[in-house]
Structure formats: C-alpha cells, structure tokens
Amino acid sequence: MDASLASDAGSIASPNLGGVQPNINPEGSALQPQWSEGRIATDEILPYVKKVRDAKLKHECAVELVNHVCTQLSSMSFQEIEDFLQNPNLILASAVTGGIEEIVRALFLQFPDLIDVPLMPEGNILQAAIKHRQVKIVNIIKEIFPTATKSMSADRMELENTTLHLAGELAPQIKLLSVPGAALQMQRELQWFKEVEEIEFPILWDVKNEYGETTKDVFRRAHKELAKEGEKWMKDTANSCMLVSALIATVLFAAAFTVPGGNTNDDKGIPIFLRTNAFTIFAISYALGLFSSLTSLLMFLAIITARYEVEDFLESLPKKLIIGLGSLFVSIAAMIIAFGAALTIALNERWNWVFVPITLLASFPVAIFVMWQLPLFVQMVRSTYGASIFRPWPSRKFE
C-alpha cells in the first residue's frame, strides 16, 4: 500500500500526468500560454519577479501534492494511515515540529482522528507544537479542534510535567535568534508563556512536577541567563542613549540665556526679534526639545535603576525604553529646528542662504543616529503593542 501511494505521489509532479499536471506544474500549467508573451519580457527586466512567481508556483505544487496524498490515504484504514505517517520517516511529527502548516492542516481536515496520535517523547501534537514554538500549528489546532485544545493541554507528560512546564522551558536557539536583543527575546518568551497559560486549565497553573517545580519555577530557572543578558542589554542601551539626552538637554538649557539676535538695551531686555516667525519657531522647538530630552533622560535613568524582575521584561521595561527613545528622537528633531531658526535670525539680512546647507550638515550625524536606533524603536513598539501570538487574551500577572 505504501509503495503504491509513493508512486501516486511521485506521479503528481511528473510532466506526463495528464489531467492533474496542467494545474500544478509551473512549466506545464494551463496558465502558461496566457503568460508566455509577457513572461519573457518581464523575466528579462525584473528577474526578481520571476523568482517570486516560481516560488509561488512551487508552493502551489506542494500544496496540491499534499492534497493528492491525503486523497490517496483516505482509501486506507486508520491504522495504515497512522503507520504511514509515523514510520519510517515520521511525517506527522516532522510536519508539526517543523511548522509545515500546509501538511498539518490538510491531514487534520482529512483525518481528524490524527489529533489523538501521540508523538513520543514530545507528548501529544499540541504539546509538541508548543515545545518547538510553532505558532501556526497551535493556531491550526485551535481553529479545527477548538473544544479539544484545553483537554489536550491537560495531558501530563514524563516527570509529571504539564503543557505549561513545556512553555516555561527556553525556546530553541533558532527561535530566539529570530528576535533581536536579549531583552526582546525575554519579552517574547514571557508573551509565549502567558499565551499558553490561557490555553491551560487554571487549576494546572501552579501544579508541581516530580522535581517540585511549578511552571513559573521552570520559567525562572530556564531563563536565568537570558534575563541577565537582557538586563545588561537594557542598561547598555539606556546608558548610550542617556549620554545623548544629557548632551541635548545641556545645549538647549544654555540656549535660554543666549537668545539669537540679542535683547533690547532698555531695562526690559525683550528679544529684538521677538515678533518674527523665526523666533517663534525657535522658542517652540527649544521648549519642546528641552522637555523631551529631560523626559528621555528620566526614562533611561529609570531603566538603569529598575529591579529587573522577570515580570518587568513583559511591559514595564519595554514601555520605558519606547518612551525614552521616542522622546530622544523628538528632542533631536527639535534641536535641529531650533538651530536652523537661530541661524535664520542671525543671518537673515546678509547671508540668508547659508542656514540651509549648515542645517543640512548639522542634520547628517543626527540622521545617522536615528537610522541606527529607529529599527530598535519600531521592533520594540511592534513587540509590545502588536497583536498577540495566538489571539487577544485577558492579562494575568506573572507572580
């Protein structure tokens, strides 16, 4: 039976397969005649388009192949299906742990009973997906088997570990490296733990394994080194940015006592260019830059003096860094605007064209700094305020 199935699976990719081939073969597709005239010109001008199109067609071929295999499997008994998927290549286990969602979805839709097949020593299918941090596989299980998800999560594994104990272990290295920075990695691990926590029955949240460890004990032990690296990363980042904030605050504070254009000679000391538009821009940007730099300075100081508990990496520390970096960007922009306005006031009558190139030159090093830090800022915002891993869950404090 397996041999005939393999033969059928191989025939679907063969260029000689009559009825099926035109729908899935990139080169022999029924769509090819419609594309042939424009494809040559497009491929010569934009080779990247050809690569994207070929990749898409190969993906469609793979999906069609999976569907064809599932159709052939439907004529077999469940025991034969299980043997085929489990031996000798462990197709089902590889698809779940590798995150191949097309295979998993097709198998579950065609054979729902496969959800009960154990993947030893990984546990059940849900636990294997959680252990290997396969978000898409967990979402497929929740979508197709919404009522069975919690009961599957309640299965106890070896050493009396629960599903939440698995979520408390450190993620595979390849998953950690997909997130930049130890602090963001720690935040992602906490987010994953709390998402799985909402799948688990609340009565199992504080269950101990054979080593006497609760789920949170496992998390703290497994992430001890990562938490230290995250603390060092946050402090180094805060120290570097705090130096820039302090420099900007010092410059802008000194600008309050050196008004561009000078003051009147009477006792009032009113700025000479008080009623000009350039002075208004200078005053507003100066005040905005000073307050923003002081805000960022305080945020970075709060990061340096934080307790660095495990819970802090989830929201407290990232939010402080977001506010600090955002305020720093605003203060930098305001300082450049104030600088340009001051040059306009000072050189307006004689060299009114000079302030443009000078302002552009002054903006160059600032732009470099923003380019270096902006990706970090965007990543932090997405990680903190973006969509949840599975779906929105009610929050619960990590104690």
353, 319 Cβ separation under 8 angstroms:
no
Is the per-residue pLDDT at 23 higher than 70? no
Please list the residues that pair with 263 across neighbouring strands. Answer: 271
269, 263 Cβ separation under 8 angstroms:
yes
216, 399 Cβ separation under 8 angstroms:
yes
Q: Is 18 exposed, middle or buried (0-12, 13-18, 19+ CB in 10 A)?
A: exposed
Nearest to 241 by CA among 332, 133, 328, 342: 328
Instruction: Give the C-alpha separation, 317 to 308, whole Å.
Output: 8
What does the DSSP assignment read for 179-222?
A: S-SHHHHHHHHHHHHHHHHHHS-GGGTT---TTS--HHHHHHHH
Is the per-residue pLDDT at 324 higher than 70? yes
Nearest to 320 by CA among 292, 301, 293, 294: 301
pLDDT per residue as tens digits for the range 346-388: 776 666 677 678 778 877 877 887 788 888 889 899 999 987 7
pLDDT per residue as tens digits for the range 264-322: 665 666 666 666 777 788 888 888 999 999 999 999 999 999 999 999 999 999 999 99
- Please identify which residue in the block is written with the tokens 């799948």: 199
118, 127 Cβ separation under 8 angstroms:
no
User: Is the whole model's pTM more than 0.95, yes or no?
Assistant: no
CA-to-CA dists, residue 131 to 122, 195, 289, 350, 395, angstroms: 8, 13, 47, 71, 22
pLDDT per residue as tens digits for the range 168-210: 999 999 989 888 889 999 999 999 999 999 888 888 888 888 8
- What pLDDT sits at residue 117? 82
Q: Stretch 31-52: mean pLDDT, rounded?
A: 57
Instruction: Give the C-alpha separation, 205 to 140, whole Å.
Output: 24
Nearest 5°: the CA angle 156, 161, 166 is 110
Scored b (16 or more CB within 10 A) or e, 228-267 reads eebbebbbebbeebbebbbebbeebeebeeebbbeeeeee
pLDDT per residue as tens digits for the range 96-106: 888 888 888 88
Q: pLDDT: is 190 or 88 the higher one?
A: 190
- Within 21-168, strands assigned E span none
Q: What are phi and psi of 62, to 5 degrees?
A: -65, -45
1, 80 Cβ separation under 8 angstroms:
yes
Instruction: Give the C-alpha separation, 280 to 274, whole Å.
Output: 7
- What pLDDT sits at residue 24? 39
Percent of the chain scored above 90 by pLDDT?
Answer: 26
**How long, in residues, is the chain?**
399
- What pLDDT sits at residue 307? 92
Nearest to 342 by CA among 270, 286, 268: 286
| 18-27, 74-83, 179-188: segment of lowest average pLDDT | 18-27
Q: pLDDT: is 78 or 260 the higher one?
A: 78
Please list the residues that pair with 271 across neighbouring strands. Answer: 263
For the chain, the farthest-separated pair of C-alpha atoms sits apart, in whole angstroms, at 104
- Please identify which residue in the block is written with the tokens 């489990």: 86
Q: Which two tokens stand for residue 247?
A: 């420099």
Q: What are phi and psi of 184, to 5 degrees?
A: -70, -35
Instruction: Give the C-alpha separation, 35 to 44, whole Å.
Output: 14
Domain ranges of the chain: 234-385
195, 388 Cβ separation under 8 angstroms:
yes
